[in-house]
Structure 1
Amino acid sequence: MSQALRTAAEIADTVLFPAANTVDTADRVPASHLDLLAANGFYGLSTLDIEDYPSLLRLVETLAGGCLTTTFVWLQHHGPVRALDRSANQALREAYLADLTAGRRRAGIAVGAAVRPGPPLLRAEPVEGGYRFHGSAPWVSGWDMVDLLQVAARDEQDVLVFALLDAVAGDSLSVAPLDLLAVQASRTVTLTFDGCFVPHERVVHTVPQAEHLTGDAESQRFNGALALGVAGRAITLLGDAAGTLPGQLDAARAQLHTAAPEDVPLARAAGAELALRAANACAVHQGSRSLLPGSDAQRLVREATFLLLFGSRPTIRSALLSRLTQR
């Protein structure tokens, strides 16, 4: 195990998990949690001593088993960092990449509204000097905890425009908070863009939607590690009552790590279903106290339910419905 994974496990067990129920009822993730991840280099994953991609997935899983909400907010940061690191916009890279990698500035994402198939909810209109963004981004996490947002909008030619914008509301950008079943402290909101001007200088890159979607499986795989973390924590709490669940977790992890791109939705579904079963088993094991506020099992059940739906795709949803209705 690398030093990064050992550090992640220590943070998860000694800092994140003991505070997870408090975070569950808070209005935001404690700044100290995010600062701790930054101090240990976790905002710049490329700088850590992680041997391979499965180890990176294991790091995400480990942190999620400590506190899903903290990990959920932190996870959003890495898409903008990867995109900026590959951007041809040298001035934008020089202005922000070092601070983002060090965690001195933090980023979120608002990309699903334009990226997924079907008519875009967020449109890019070319204008002199840049673009105007019109429409909404329904699910944006980390509001008021991040400094920057990677926003994607789609133009009439189905080209995606990715931009790095300041996470600040204004006349052309309004914010509406959402009430969620779980991870409420993630401060997830809906953003509405009313002709928000995006200068060329803030554009990270442009890419045809169809080309971008060819890499969607890796995003799904990355997100899938969250459910394994919730499952693992429930299994730990079950202890000797866990039965065959530890072996099932090992199998689900191997499936997620090794699945071919076309099979990632099946792996996501397997991990999400396992998290739900493990969390419910934990609630049954702990008994009626699981119904009370402050119960780890109750929180894990809600978090597992949240992960059935987070970052989903039609293929994941179909696979999950099949698993949940045919037993």
Structure 2
Amino acid sequence: MNADAHPLVVRARELAADLLLPEAERVDQEGVPAGHVEAVKRSGLLGVVAPVEYGGSGAPAAVLRETAEILSGACCSTWFVQTQHHTPVQTLARSGLPVRERLLGPLARGELLSGVAYAHLRSFPRVPVRARRRHGGWRFEGTVPWYTGWGLNDVMLLAGVTDADEALFAFAEARDQPGLTASPPVRLAALTAARTVSLELDGLWLPDDAVALRTPHARWAAGDRARTLNATPAVFGVAEAALSLLDEATAGPLRARLADVRRRAYALADDPAPHERAAERLAVRAEAYQVLGTATTAAVVAGGGRAMALTSRAQRLAREALFLLVQGQTAESRTAHLAALSGA
């Protein structure tokens, strides 16, 4: 089936048109409401790539990308909250540990929404969060700098580094509890609505049966590197939303550029050797950002003075584009992007 005709893509379009886009400017200023999360849960989109036998759709990657473009283009904050969910689902689908049977079904069916707390693993050998063996489980100490969806997520996939330099991932309830305290929501230039906090871990204890993955950090980092080499679908979703605000004479050439870089980015993403062609992947990623920046800048220029109002869609999209520049960024992708910007 063509991704455009997949039932979940159709559902994503309906959700975007009926709820997300009409409310996007208000949500940007007031925060993602629980009603948006409930609508996403009911839609089936949280199980897009989850195994069918656990209540998911088992759809191909192209469907996940298409739905991500639609949701991010309509309301990037809502997209960002729900996109965290797919990593826990995929982690559980590959896990052979007991937590799979407890949580994969509820996550795949959209009964629970999961967040993630693992980006700090990218700072290794610095270890912001340490996980140590204690009393039939694991004790977590340290600080999670960024956690999105606080107050909206039911559970989180939390990562720490063991004394043996393993990356250990375990599920916890996403709430204040002994050993876990959330900061007030962080005020950001964009996507404050996604309810991002930092988490202080002061002896949070999780039992062995909460563990979903335990692997050498180097092995995890290799897989993470492969994912962060590629452009995220949200870049294309937000860019297309910006182009929709322009007249065709202006939008046409930019839309052609966007379609070309999108085609090349997704061809690389589908390459069966995800660790190869790193330089090409990073170059295409940087090119996608350049088109995004041009598209959102054009939308602001076309909007004139009105684009400076916080109620302006063009201005919101421009700020969301700035956020996407650093979302999922690594030292490697940062270096490649800066080189592209400087013409090196």
Q: What TM-score results when the alignment is normalised by the length of structure 1? A: 0.93
SS in 2 for 1:237: coil
Contact 1:140 1:190 in 2 (8 A): yes
Matched, 1:277 2:297: no
Answer with 283-292 or 194-203: which moved more. Answer: 194-203
Matched, 1:254 2:263: yes
Task: Give me the whole-angstrom Cα distance separating, in 1, the residues matched to 2:35 and 2:296.
Answer: 27
Q: Which residue of structure 2 aligns with residue 34 of structure 1?
A: 37
Answer with 228-237 or 114-123: which moved more. Answer: 114-123
Q: Which residue of structure 1 aligns with residue 164 of structure 2?
A: 157
Q: Which residue of structure 1 aligns with residue 339 of structure 2?
A: 322
Matched, 1:109 2:116: yes
Contact 1:161 1:203 in 2 (8 A): yes
Task: Give me the whole-angstrom Cα distance separating, in 2, the residues matched to 1:101 and 1:285.
Answer: 42
Q: 2:212 aligns with which of 197, 201, 204?
A: 204
Contact 1:217 1:264 in 2 (8 A): no
Contact 2:117 2:159 in 1 (8 A): yes
| Matched AA of 2:218 | A
Matched, 1:83 2:87: no
Q: 1:169 aligns with which of 153, 176, 191?
A: 176
Alpha-carbon deviation of 1:285? 0.8
Alpha-carbon deviation of 1:115? 4.4
Matched, 1:237 2:245: yes
Root mean square deviation, CA, Å: 1.9
Task: Give me the whole-angstrom Cα distance separating, in 1, the residues matched to 2:285 and 2:237.
Answer: 13
Alignment of structure 1 residues 1-327 onto 2, 5 Å: 1=4, 2-26=6-30, 28-46=31-49, 47-48=56-57, 50=59, 52-90=60-98, 92-176=99-183, 177-217=185-225, 219-220=227-228, 224-240=232-248, 241-259=250-268, 261=274, 262=278, 263-326=280-343
Structure 1 residues 152-198: Cα deviation after superposition (integer angstroms, max 9, x where no partner): 10012210110001111133111112111111111001111112112
SS in 1 for 2:36: helix
SS in 2 for 1:178: coil
Contact 2:235 2:289 in 1 (8 A): yes
Kindly tell me: are residues 38 and 171 of structure 1, through their superposed partners in 2, closer, same or farther at Cα, counting changes over 3 Å? closer
SS in 2 for 1:182: coil
Task: Give me the whole-angstrom Cα distance separating, in 1, the residues matched to 2:43 and 2:246.
Answer: 30
Contact 1:221 1:256 in 2 (8 A): no
Contact 1:235 1:242 in 2 (8 A): yes
Structure 1 residues 62-98: Cα deviation after superposition (integer angstroms, max 9, x where no partner): 11111100000000011111112222222x2222221
Kindly tell me: are residues 216 and 136 of structure 1, through their superposed partners in 2, closer, same or farther at Cα, counting changes over 3 Å? same
Answer with 184-193 or 96-105: which moved more. Answer: 96-105
Q: Which residue of structure 1 aligns with residue 53 of structure 2?
A: none
SS in 2 for 1:25: helix
| Matched AA of 2:92 | L
| Matched AA of 1:48 | S
Kindly tell me: are residues 267 and 54 of structure 1, through their superposed partners in 2, closer, same or farther at Cα, counting changes over 3 Å? farther
Task: Give me the whole-angstrom Cα distance separating, in 2, the residues matched to 1:300 and 1:291.
Answer: 12
Length, aligned pairs only = 324
| Matched AA of 2:38 | D
Q: Gapped runs of 5+ residues in structure 2?
A: 50-55
Alpha-carbon deviation of 1:218? 5.1
SS in 1 for 2:46: coil
Structure 1 residues 241-293: Cα deviation after superposition (integer angstroms, max 9, x where no partner): 21411011112211221225324333332222321221111000111100112
| Matched AA of 1:41 | G
Kindly tell me: are residues 82 and 219 of structure 1, through their superposed partners in 2, closer, same or farther at Cα, counting changes over 3 Å? same
Q: Gapped runs of 5+ residues in structure 1?
A: none
Contact 1:23 1:29 in 2 (8 A): yes
Task: Give me the whole-angstrom Cα distance separating, in 2, the residues matched to 1:280 and 1:270.
Answer: 15
Task: Report the identity percentage.
Answer: 33
SS in 2 for 1:43: helix
| Matched AA of 1:126 | R
Answer with 134-143 or 218-227: which moved more. Answer: 218-227
| Matched AA of 1:143 | W
SS in 1 for 2:246: helix
Q: What TM-score results when the alignment is normalised by the length of structure 2? A: 0.89
Alpha-carbon deviation of 1:116? 4.2
Task: Give me the whole-angstrom Cα distance separating, in 1, the residues matched to 2:260 and 2:123.
Answer: 30
